[in-house]
Chains A and B, each alone.
Chain A
Amino acid sequence: MNFGAIDPVLLIASLMVAATPLIFAAIGELVVEKAGVLNLGVEGMMIVGAISGFIIAVETGSPMLGLLFAAIGGALLSLLFAILTQLALATQVPSGLALTLMGLGISSLMGQDYVGVKPPTMARLDIPVLSDLPVVGPILYSHDPALYLGLVLVACVWWFLNRSRAGLTLRAVGENAEAAFALGYKVVRIRVLAILFGGACAGVGGAYISLVRVPQWTEGMTAGIGWIALALVVFASWKPGRAMIGAYLFGGVTVLQLNLQAAGLAIPVEYLSMSPYIITILVLVFLSADRSSAPGSLGRIFHASR
């Protein structure tokens, strides 16, 4: 065993990278659920985002363009979900599950020629002086731009939901769709927009995995992050800040257990591998004593005539 090989500074820096896909996916799904829609297709939208972003980044050489198209790819897939659930009034749970299965299939089809290809690397922030500071430098000032984008997104979503008029409307639609409709709000339009936002976020989260975290393409590489994001939203009581804490916790334990595996800790690898899931869920269960804040209309079909 050699715990000395674990460098705390590098550990923190890499846990932020590990948490970022989860932040994107969870914050997107949080907005969707706040609008009263339960989209279980996060995993599918992420993997489609991962391959869309990967292909565009490889073909154009620009990772940022890749992220943009990952957002478009995720949003396009979620548009299918929006049409099914908001216009055709299909039930949300099976539609979301179908989206995940379909996304996994489409992504492997799209990615056939890209296995083993190396994507262009995303430039890292390099601020003279600041990035060179000891400890603080590697943790705060030397990541790729997408990671910062994730943090900004959390702040923006928090502000949008709690401070803006449009956010209030969105919460109202999720809380009581019939009442919002009676007041003259366009329930279906608001929900479709929220679903598209969730799809775009999930897409970017997926592309962050294929372009930054594990810069390569393999089938099914999101490996359940979408499901963790879904659980995170619930256990975070639909609060953006808590979802971010949960994501960091999950990322932290993931990175730590990998380091512990490398250090040769005398615990079977299987236990270490499952630890991030168990610890994240345990902590969030304790945090979510006030689970009452589920949006009132979550998962229910809305039709103007009923």
Chain B
Amino acid sequence: MTALLNLHGLTKAYPGVIANDDVSFDIDKAEIHALLGENGAGKSTLVKMIYGLVKPDAGTMTLNGKPFAPHEPRAARAAGIAMVFQHFSLFDALTVAENVALGMEDAGPLRDLSNRIEEVSNRYGLPLSPASRVGDLSAGERQRVEIIRCLLQDPQLLIMDEPTSVLTPQEVEILFETLRALKEDGRSILYISHKLEEIRALCDAATILRHGQVVGSCIPRDTTARAMAEMMVGAAFETPETRPQGSGEVLLDIQSLSLPATSQFGTPLRDVSLTLHAGEIIGIGGVAGNGQDELLAALSGETRSDAAAITLDGQPIGRLGPTGRRALGLSAAPEERLGHAAAPDMSLTENAALTGHVREKLARRGFIDWRRARDFAERVITAFDVRTPGASSAARSLSGGNLQKFVIGREVLQRPRVLVVNQPTWGVDAAAAAAIRQALIDLAADGAGVIVISQDLDELMEISHRFGALNGGRLSPLRPAAGLTLEEVGLMLGGAHDMEVAHV
């Protein structure tokens, strides 16, 4: 086989950090090539160089035997390279056809384009209606928009950045079928992920990055997931240790909670009921945009409901705000770290005081006790191994994983009776994710109740005692997580309904 794209000695440094250091490898024709690495290993920078968004400081690329140095994405697309982004590349308010047109050099009239979209989407089993508004689509459908946008340009190399993180197991299967069909057509795929089992099922070759350097390559089919994970991390790491569920008293009780959507493209909650016991972890799965944000807001107190719809220790709390609920022992950590869970430009001490002032008594008569606040922030930093110069650093300056450890640690150390977290390990590297999961397990073992909302099914299966799925704002009945098969989980997520033809 011949190489389609050859990378040689690619190096890119940013102030204070070398994102890519002398990276070299080949991607063959008609090959699905995995790029593996933790967050911050330099995967995104590398991909951005191939796609022309970032210029390498040194090194060369060769495409089909010819030198390749795209100075902008347009040039990369013209050379036959297309990219499906992990996020931010769709426009909610525009239609499918308009979104596709924006990613193409020569889109032509929208009417012709719509026909071509339907043709390609049927050929690869990705049903889509060109006239629907992207904001109304499910995550799986949105991804189809991106894939079709790429396919219409007849690419030789398709780059996919974490494509399955928002999909149901059934949708993942559809995607893999599509990717294999593309490979049959002679196209190559650069597949970025840290879901190792997927890579083993799909990819022909893998290159592993750590701290910006290539640390190894392997044939995923012949390598165990654990071996690949250890190459990524550079060391063995501990898998969280689960503890048996305590059969405690009822802590939190939600009865028939219905709430309207909080934003234009949000999902209303419909008749959600759930009972959380002391010592229990409830995992709530579901494809993004099925009511996760709304459920978290309803529990944290950002959205108020009928007083009796939510009770904590038998006390109605539906009309209390976040501070009132924290005082009673119900804490929450939302998904968006910067801007929701933490104020980006404020220091860690200030961020610690923002949620900790009630339970940690950091404020007296309306004045903040800065020394206690600082002590509290430092306790979080030490207990959760947050890598930062100190408590006076701005939240923005922390890497995603470190900030997530801080945000979760801040709530855990307040010893809440009930903790609700949304996507606790999203975009967090394997070692930090394991630490966060362990902290949640320990919290439950000490008698608190924990609700974990996540799109990472492996994570939910690993730590939760009972599992439920959100679909269109409804919560499925909870079932014991032990013994659930992937198929059953997929059906609970409502994966099947997404396979029908998209909304017309």
Contacts and interface: CB of A to CB of B under 8 A. Distances in A.
B72 A179 contact: no
Given A165-B107, A168-B101, A184-B74, A179 B88 contact: yes
A1 interface: no
A184 B79 CA distance: 14
Contacts of B92: 175-176, 296
8 contacts: A165-B107, A168-B98, A171-B91, A176-B91, A176-B92, A179-B88, A183-B73, A184-B77
A161 to B, nearest CB: 12
Interface of B: 52-53, 72-74, 77, 85, 88-94, 98, 101-103, 107, 264
B73 A165 contact: no
Interface in A176-194: 176, 178-180, 182-185
Contacts of B103: 183
Given A180-B102, A182-B73, A183-B73, 18 more contacts: A165-B101, A169-B102, A171-B93, A172-B91, A172-B94, A175-B91, A176-B92, A178-B88, A179-B85, A179-B90, A182-B53, A182-B88, A182-B89, A184-B74, A184-B77, A185-B102, A292-B264, A296-B93
Contacts of B98: 168, 172
A41 B286 CA distance: 46
B492 to A, nearest CB: 32
A176 B88 contact: yes
Interface string A268-306: 000000000000000000000000110110000000000
Interface of A: 165, 168-169, 171-172, 175-176, 178-180, 182-185, 292-293, 295-296
Given A168-B98, A172-B102, A292-B264, A183 B93 contact: no
A168 B88 contact: no
A65 to B, nearest CB: 39
B73 A184 contact: yes
Contacts of A175: 91-94
A172 B74 CA distance: 16
Nearest to B93: A175
A184 B52 contact: yes
Nearest to B99: A172
A115 B227 CA distance: 84
A233 to B, nearest CB: 16
Contacts of A176: 88, 90-92
A182 B94 contact: no
A172 B94 CA distance: 8
Counting from the closest, the 6 A-B pairs by CB-CB distance are A184-B73, A175-B91, A179-B89, A178-B88, A179-B88, A184-B74
Nearest to B89: A179
Nearest to A291: B264
A296 B264 CA distance: 11
B131 to A, nearest CB: 14
A178 B88 CA distance: 7
Nearest to B83: A182
Which of B52, B102, B264 gathers most chain A CB within 10 Å? Answer: B102
A155 to B, nearest CB: 20
